[in-house]
Structure 1
Amino acid sequence: MDMTLLAETMECRNGNCPTAWLTEQGTVMVQGYVVDARLVRVPRDLIERAARELEMQEIPVTTVVPAPRASEVRASGEWFMVAGTPTPLQCPDGERAHEVPAHAVWAAANESTREAAV
């Protein structure tokens, strides 16, 4: 599967850190820290930067193919919790990658920005 880097953790030194990629299907692959069987968490700025990159690349977030399972990207303090389709992407211990629709990343980042402005 071809993927394009959208955003990676700023302080990452070894390459095994939360990251977001755009897939060739128009979904977003999010690698994060395992919370439970359904969730991974990533730093808030990763999702916000991935959303900005989607906008800069003019990805049509309302018309992309959705990930096959129910997905959700929601803010939780300094983190975003990401629930999506687990992927076979090889990740270091304690991390996993989930695939989510691009519009879920964009919507979560925009909602987070609105909450911060209030």
Structure 2
Amino acid sequence: MTPIAAPLDPLAQRLQTIQKLIASGKLPEAATKLNVAAKAVPGDARVFLMGMRLAEASGNAAGALDAARRAVNLAPEWPVAVTELAFLLALHPGDEEVLFYKDVASGKTPARQPAAMVRSLY
């Protein structure tokens, strides 16, 4: 039996293109395409994770952290979003939020955010 890859959904294809642009340093073009994707699918956490990658590539640590938090807000039980946020937060060891998301990513804690950690995203 030959393995057959499932076709990517249209957003996944767009995000792969954006990821290639980021990797090749074409950040303005990547940003433009990401904005189009965000308008097409505003509630998809994958868009915010790609925004995190773009912000990291442009040296915008605060923007990367904000985008990762938005991804987790949209998909609190998606391990990819939680893990990416935990990795970013790990740059600030000892932070209570780091410890919380480390436990969420490892499955020790439910994905619901404690009230003290809920931040306004707008």
Tell me, yes or no, whether TM beats 0.5: no
Higher relative CO (Cα under 8 Å, sequence separation at least 6) belongs to 1
- What is the TM-score of this pair, normalised by structure 1? 0.29
Q: Whose helix fraction is larger, Structure 1's or Structure 2's?
A: 2
- What is the TM-score of this pair, normalised by structure 2? 0.28
